[in-house]
Amino acid sequence: MQCAAVMSLSCARSVTADTDVLPYIRNVLADTSSVAYSVLAGYDPADRYGSIAVAGPEESTRQLAAYLMACDMFDNIDARESRDSLPDFAGELFASCYDLADTSYAGLVRDGKDDALREVTVRNAVAAAAGECYQNAFSNVPSVEKSPAKIIVFSSSFSEVGTADVDTLFSLFGKTVRLVSPVEAIAQRIEEEHVAGKIGIWADNDVLASGVYARVFRNWNRGFDYVGFSPDGFSTAEEGFFRFLDMYMSTGEVVPLSAVVIDDFRLSGYAASINEVASRVRSSTTDEHAVYRAILADDFKVIDAVSSIARSCYRTLRKENLFTHIIRYPLSEEYAIVRSPEANADIKYIEYNHIYVH
């Protein structure tokens, strides 16, 4: 009976024996009694009253969810890029899913465990899509209602290695899934801003080494030419920016940078300040800034991950008419994704806390 289920679901997307399908995905398809199977089988992507799920490491998930709940970049009536003193995601419910089971994504990359990181990304997506959760880590069955995600926002650039797997799993159940991930959102923003030429990526060394930017930029097939650096030891964002430029020049490059992408969520809030520094450098006539002027294009831009993610999320919901249109400030719920205390060490998504923002 289980084999029949696998064959039936596989018709939605041809999967041959040599296709790179994660063992976890195959196990979900085969075990019709599993929680993950029930989640996917019952998932309704058309429910506009579902949550905006933000999933990933706790710190970055908190930072991103807080920004999304408060951001005001668009006019909520006609979607123009104009502040209207109303949160862009007014009326929405945010579900923060903190991955406390696999806290070191960078460690998985350093250890060459790409498949494990892919699986983490898929498991987090299943947790976000669930309509029930566990009361606590010691619960045997999900028993607490939870709002399934209508869109899943990943809070880690490392998630790029598994987003295609998430799409595969949902597709095998005949379901669509809306995903927003940092590097994809940045690539979309680069295209929207018509950035051409050399792009600088300001990111952690592990992110740069993971190849996620190479993967996404290659898939976009827009010929993005980029170089990445990870400055350290700076006390201000301005100092960090100049260190980044110094690292770029130390390579012998003379091609002006058209943009600098800020991958680090903690620095995203300083994007406007860094842009002002760049403008000051470009307009300066002093010898102090002459060397920096030469490597900044006239139309130089600063693009940060957090606001790029917010734009992608907003436009996706707007395009597909999935906003709730409820007049209220955004609400927030928090969930922890933890390992089961049982011997099989499965992953559980449990109720963590509820915070109502007024």
Q: Which of 26, 36, 51, 21 is nearest to 164 (CA)?
A: 21
Is residue 2 scored above 80 in pLDDT? no
Q: In terms of pLDDT, which residue wins out, 75 or 301?
A: 301
Task: Give me the pLDDT at residue 353, please.
Answer: 63
Give the tens place of pLDDT for each residue, 183-223: 999 999 999 999 988 999 999 999 999 999 998 988 776 66
Give the tens place of pLDDT for each residue, 74-108: 988 888 888 888 999 999 999 999 999 988 999 99
Local confidence band at 344 (pLDDT 50, 70, 90 cut-offs): low
Is residue 165 scored above 90 in pLDDT? yes
User: What is the C-alpha separation between 166 and 117, in angstroms, rounded?
Assistant: 12
Q: Which of 151, 150, 165 is nearest to 120 (CA)?
A: 165
Is residue 170 scored above 70 in pLDDT? yes
Q: Largest alpha-carbon pair distance within the chain?
A: 76
Rounded to an integer, the average pLDDT of 130-140 is: 90
CATH number, domain 184-306: 3.40.50.1860
CB 356 within 8 A of CB 155: no
CB 261 within 8 A of CB 186: yes
CB 108 within 8 A of CB 116: yes
Give the tens place of pLDDT for each residue, 272-299: 999 999 999 999 988 888 999 999 999 9
Task: Give me the pLDDT at residue 345, please.
Answer: 62
Task: Give me the pLDDT at residue 81, please.
Answer: 87
The phi, psi pair for 355, rounded to 5°, reads -125, 125
Task: Give me the pLDDT at residue 162, please.
Answer: 97
DSSP E strands: which ranges in 237-357?
257-262, 296-304, 331-339, 347-355
Give the tens place of pLDDT for each residue, 57-73: 999 999 999 999 999 99
Q: What is the pTM of this model?
A: 0.91
**What string of H, E and C letters represents the secondary structure of 86-99?**
CCCCCCCEEEEEEE
Residue ranges covered by each domain of the chain: 2-178+320-355, 184-306
The DSSP secondary-structure symbol of 154 reads E
User: What is the C-alpha separation between 295 and 278, in angstroms, rounded?
Assistant: 11
Mean residue pLDDT across the chain: 90
Is residue 309 scored above 70 in pLDDT? yes
Percent of the chain with pLDDT strictly greater than 90: 77
Local confidence band at 34 (pLDDT 50, 70, 90 cut-offs): very high
Task: Give me the pLDDT at residue 343, please.
Answer: 56
Task: Give me the pLDDT at residue 77, please.
Answer: 86
User: What is the C-alpha separation between 357 and 224, in angstroms, rounded?
Assistant: 40
Task: Give me the pLDDT at residue 223, please.
Answer: 66
User: What is the C-alpha separation between 196 and 345, in angstroms, rounded?
Assistant: 47
Local confidence band at 140 (pLDDT 50, 70, 90 cut-offs): confident
Q: In terms of pLDDT, which residue wins out, 219 or 118?
A: 118
C-alpha distances in Å from residue 27, one per residue of 33, 118, 128, 168, 301: 11, 15, 19, 13, 45
